[in-house]
């Protein structure tokens, strides 16, 4: 039994530079003239036409004259194209497919580290090379007012054990596909990336694609249910960015409506924060919503936080104040120390097809109704849009009554009844 892996070609169009053909061209044309050639450069791979259309083709730029917009192609066009046909720079010409037995990145090797430094509301990013990086994301608090996050993403190298095939991008379709007929691959995970055979540049690696199928309460399952409610013409007008945006909006709404923004569902892991002598202001993590507690080194647990910035009357008594994403300490610390804190996180943004949608009673099925509400608005079908929103709200109201929800994280321990006087 063959497993078919699909790479979504439409992702190449996100933020892609493009222009339009100025004149009708016939098949076999060696040059095209575009309205603005600033978006292109020699050796670029460009798509002529709309992705997924029958006569759309992928060609490579040999040279261009920016003053006239004339682009000379490496190979002549295979199809005729009309005036105003779109020409898009896509960066890649092939798709590389991989298989791994475990859900681990294929062939990690020398990596490039992207370092994001956030100080107050200023964010800067630098890139550096690393010969032996850790495949992880971590935070270094060398300066308590700066959060520096290193995102290490190993590149992909060819390896006969994991490499399946390299296919030309099928621009006349929304997807470039590969059928894995290896009988030994009954389980495991498929991967793909886009590849530029001229420059050897690669795109970020795809999410892992389980050969055993996606679980029912994953992002992939919701997207499949959503797609099944639309016809092919409608699906073409919905981008992957639209889907993720609408899914995350629905997910956030349901978390709030079902009162799931509580300790048990959304509490962070304990976070150690280094307090520095002379420093009063500390930047909290990006997903910070509300403070749960602070433990000082002596074991004192602080559960109430001042809403003002008044100066404590006693310099020996430490007071904490939370303002936005900043933790302020008064009076100014006179010595280095460490505190441990936990906080409520903002609802996470789902970006992975395998990500589990954590709702009571596997209620992820209702998210597609909200997505349809947004989709039909975009498609101009207000009747179906309103019907979908009504159905979504009814399902949420039903879950408020019937679903099994956990408590609000309150302590389950109390004084025994025999101790009451």
What pLDDT does 345 receive? Answer: 78
Lowest mean pLDDT among 86-90, 165-169, 304-308, 331-335: 304-308
- Please return the burial class of 152, using the count of CB atoms within 10 Å of its CB with bins 0-12, 13-18 and 19+: middle
Place 370 in a pLDDT band, splitting at 50, 70 and 90.
Answer: very high
Helices vs. strands in the chain: H and E counts, helices first: 6, 23
What pLDDT does 346 receive? Answer: 75
- Does residue 414 have a pLDDT over 50? no
Place 389 in a pLDDT band, splitting at 50, 70 and 90.
Answer: very high
Lowest mean pLDDT among 99-113, 289-303, 390-404: 99-113
**Region 198-223: what's the mean pLDDT?**
83
CA–CA dist 379, 237 (Å, integer): 8
What pLDDT does 262 receive? Answer: 56
- Mean pLDDT across the chain, nearest whole number? 78
Name the residue with higher pLDDT: 82 or 129: 82
Residue 338 phi/psi, 5° resolution?
A: -135, 135
Which own/partner contact pairs does 226-229 have at CB distance under 8 Å and 24+ positions apart? Answer: 226/368, 226/371, 226/372, 226/375, 229/368, 229/372
Contacts of 283 (CB under 8 A, 6+ apart): 118, 119, 120, 144, 145, 146, 147, 325, 326
Q: Note the pLDDT tens digit of each residue in 53-85.
A: 999 999 999 999 999 999 999 999 999 999 999
- Please return the burial class of 56, using the count of CB atoms within 10 Å of its CB with bins 0-12, 13-18 and 19+: buried
Q: Note the pLDDT tens digit of each residue in 230-253.
A: 998 898 889 888 999 999 999 888
């Amino acid at each position: 039994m063959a497993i078919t892996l699909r790479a979504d070609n439409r992702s190449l169009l996100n933020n892609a530079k493009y222009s339009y053909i100025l004149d009708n061209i016939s098949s076999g044309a060696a040059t095209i003239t575009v309205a603005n050639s600033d978006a292109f450069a020699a050796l670029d791979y460009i798509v002529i036409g709309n992705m997924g259309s029958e006569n759309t083709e992928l060609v490579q730029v040999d040279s261009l004259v920016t003053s006239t917009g004339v682009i000379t192609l490496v190979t002549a066009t295979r199809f005729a194209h009309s005036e105003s046909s779109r020409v898009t720079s896509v960066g890649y010409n092939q798709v590389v497919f991989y298989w791994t037995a475990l859900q681990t990145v294929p062939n990690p090797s020398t990596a490039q580290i992207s370092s994001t430094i956030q100080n107050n509301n200023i964010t800067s990013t630098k890139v550096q090379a690393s010969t032996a990086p850790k495949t992880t994301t971590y935070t270094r608090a060398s300066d308590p007012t700066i959060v520096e996050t290193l995102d290490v993403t190993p590149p992909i190298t060819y390896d006969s054990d994991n490499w399946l095939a390299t296919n030309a991008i099928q621009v006349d379709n929304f997807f470039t596909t590969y059928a894995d007929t290896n009988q030994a691959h009954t389980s495991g995970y498929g991967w793909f990336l886009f590849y530029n055979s001229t420059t050897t540049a690669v795109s970020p690696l795809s999410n892992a694609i389980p050969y055993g199928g996606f679980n029912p309460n994953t992002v992939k399952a919701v997207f499949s249910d959503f797609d099944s409610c639309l016809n092919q013409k409608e699906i073409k007008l919905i981008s992957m960015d639209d889907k993720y945006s609408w899914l995350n909006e629905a997910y956030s709404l349901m978390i709030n409506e079902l009162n799931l923004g509580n300790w048990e569902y959304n509490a962070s892991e304990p976070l150690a924060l280094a307090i520095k002598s002379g420093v009063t202001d500390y930047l909290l993590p990006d997903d910070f919503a509300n403070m749960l507690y602070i433990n000082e080194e002596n074991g004192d647990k602080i559960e109430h936080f001042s809403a003002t910035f008044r100066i404590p009357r006693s310099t020996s008594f430490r007071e904490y104040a939370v303002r936005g994403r900043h933790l302020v300490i008064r009076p100014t610390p006179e010595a280095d120390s460490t505190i441990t804190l936990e906080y409520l996180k903002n609802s996470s943004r789902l970006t992975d097809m395998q990500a589990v949608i954590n709702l009571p009673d596997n209620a992820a099925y209702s998210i597609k109704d909200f997505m349809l509400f947004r989709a039909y608005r975009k498609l101009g079908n207000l009747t179906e849009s309103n019907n979908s929103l009504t159905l979504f709200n009814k399902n949420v109201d039903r879950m408020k009554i019937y679903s099994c929800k956990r408590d609000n994280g309150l302590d389950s321990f109390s004084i025994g009844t025999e101790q009451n006087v």
